[in-house]
Chains A and B, each alone.
Chain A
Amino acid sequence: MKNLLDRFTSGALSAIGGIGRAVMDLGAHTFKVYNLLVETIRWVVIGPFKKKFVKSDAIFSQMVFTGVESLIIAFFVAMFTGVVIAMQTAPQLATFGGTVYVASLVAVSIARELGPVLTALVVAGRVGSAMTAELGTMKVSEQIEALETIALNPVRFLVVPRFLALCVMLPCLTIIADFAGIIGGFIVGVFSLHISPALYIDVTFRFLTAKDVTTGLVKAFVFAVTIAMIACYKGLNTKGGAEGVGKSTTQSVVISFILIILFDCILTGIFYFTKV
């Protein structure tokens, strides 16, 4: 009996210790990601005034990779979401005789919520993972160390172009996704619910305010920073060969997903309570 009690207490203690350690680890990682962010922003801000800023072709090629190549998938994800929202809400709106409000419902929910979030999730899965894998491979094959010994700062040389490309391209993708979502709703509205195209467009823009779009873009920007920082941090801190690269890449995507949802919740809360 006593033995059992002992085992129980020691088990409980070690569980508490484990939780404590996990919290400490989380704090330490958060602090390091924050430091990376500060350093990145420092390079972005002071970089242009120094003679050696990031080469524009490095930023450009990252933009092509993050933005242009994600365009089709972001477009279709948002469009199908628009279709789904329209189809699922139409019957309920029909009970009030307000089928035409499908247009505004799709537009507002896509612009405020689903456009930015779904696009960010797509980009985190497609671009964030690739960034982590690339930087992680560079780390484990000593390429990062080689960069440092030829006096090139990895944050300036590798992180800043990726950061800038994401910060520019994710909001752009989000605008396109907003359009795509509205097109998806439009297809259902016009072809299945028999709303006239002019009326659909009119209702859409009567209810969709500039604020809906800008709050969505603020979200997109925050998500871009999150994806870039997590992806680069995980990549630059990869340890232990091919397995380590795989692990970092998975973690990068999982953490980005969780943080995107978390920040979405926080930002929505802020917009809600400040009535923005």
Chain B
Amino acid sequence: MDDREVIIKAEGIHKAFGENQILNGVDLEIYKGETFVIMGGSGCGKSTFLRHLTGALTPDKGRVSLLGKDLALLKEAEKEDVLKKIGMCFQSSALFDSMTVAGNISLPLREHTKLEGNVIDIVVKMKLELVGLRGFENLMPSQLSGGMKKRVGLARAIVMDPQVIFYDEPTAGLDPIVGGVIDKLILDLSKKLSITSVVVTHDMNSVFRIADRVAMLYKGRVVEVGTANQIKNTENELVRQFITGQPDGPISFMQTGDDYLESLTK
């Protein structure tokens, strides 16, 4: 396994927002061509971690290397060259609401390539077809449902045929069938085009459908990394509880259990 090429490497990532320590030394290696799933409780810092991988945030301590380069150290032009090779599908879709669906998807092509307008139109139609939204080119983002926005965001992420795609909860808020279609799309992209996918998700069905390897984030650290099968049969109580969704276990939902009474009466 270790002879495969490492395409993303995070070493000891620390990040705090004010007093709030979110990431506390995250180490991960992601190999070329694999589908890597990051899971963890809501608010545990998955999106924050993803932002470090794409260079949107710089760690307080630690290093990220993406496609062999440390984004924090690169000059603007070099950083842009790396960013052109990745795609990001945001949790909140982050569509440009002054542009139509087609405008959103074609923006990277219009800005970074010399393709003719009619070629771009064809590419946009193909990507929309992939996410099941053919015919919606001329709607504005405000006219779409949440799940449709998410899929437009996904189409925008893959329009430049990137080498690495980051998905932040791509199937959250989608109906099971569309969720399955998106999972299949992620799989197709990574298997047929050997694109590396990094997927953040809570959806356990989705995890075991798509994942080559899985990491679980808890309290700012990676508590377990392994292949999908290893994770499924893990001994780790934390991970077991997360996968099965038991309310009782080592992860206590009432995280501030002891001082709860105190904070009520204060």
Contacts and interface: CB of A to CB of B under 8 A. Distances in A.
Given A149-B88, A151-B83, A153-B76, A52 B96 contact: no
Interface residues of B, number: 25
Interface string B148-165: 000000001000100000
A149 B76 contact: no
Interface in B75-106: 76, 79-81, 83-84, 86, 88, 90, 92, 94-98
Contacts of B249: none
Contacts of A142: 90, 92, 94
A130 to B, nearest CB: 12
Interface in A44-92: 52
B111 A149 contact: no
Contacts of B84: 150-151
Given A52-B111, A142-B94, A151 B54 contact: no
Contact of A151 (B80, B92, B94): B80
Given A145-B56, A146-B90, A151 B97 contact: no
A209 B218 CA distance: 73
Contacts of B83: 148-151
A192 interface: no
A143 interface: yes
B108 interface: yes
Given A151-B80, A151-B83, A153-B76, A146 B96 contact: yes
Contact of A149 (B81, B86, B92, B112): B86
A145 B57 CA distance: 10
Contacts of B26: none
Contacts, number: 54
A55 to B, nearest CB: 8
Nearest to B51: A145
A143 B153 CA distance: 11
Nearest to A157: B111
B107 interface: yes
A152 interface: yes
A72 to B, nearest CB: 24
Contacts of B90: 142, 145-146
A147 B95 CA distance: 10
Which of A52, A145, A153 has most B Cβ within 10 Å? Answer: A145
Contacts of B80: 151, 153
Interface string B40-83: 00000000000100111000000000000000000010011101
A148 B94 contact: no
A141 interface: yes
B94 A143 contact: yes
B94 A146 contact: yes
A150 B108 contact: yes
A153 B83 CA distance: 11
A149 B56 contact: yes
Given A151-B80, A151-B83, A153-B76, A146 B111 contact: no
Interface string A120-141: 0000000000000010011001
Interface of B: 51, 54-56, 76, 79-81, 83-84, 86, 88, 90, 92, 94-98, 107-108, 111-112, 156, 160
15 contacts: A52-B111, A141-B92, A141-B94, A142-B90, A143-B94, A143-B97, A145-B56, A145-B90, A146-B88, A149-B83, A150-B108, A150-B160, A151-B81, A151-B108, A152-B111
Interface of A: 52, 134, 137-138, 141-143, 145-153, 157
Given A52-B111, A150-B83, A150-B107, 14 more contacts: A134-B98, A137-B97, A141-B94, A143-B94, A146-B94, A147-B96, A150-B111, A150-B160, A151-B83, A151-B108, A151-B112, A152-B107, A152-B108, A153-B80
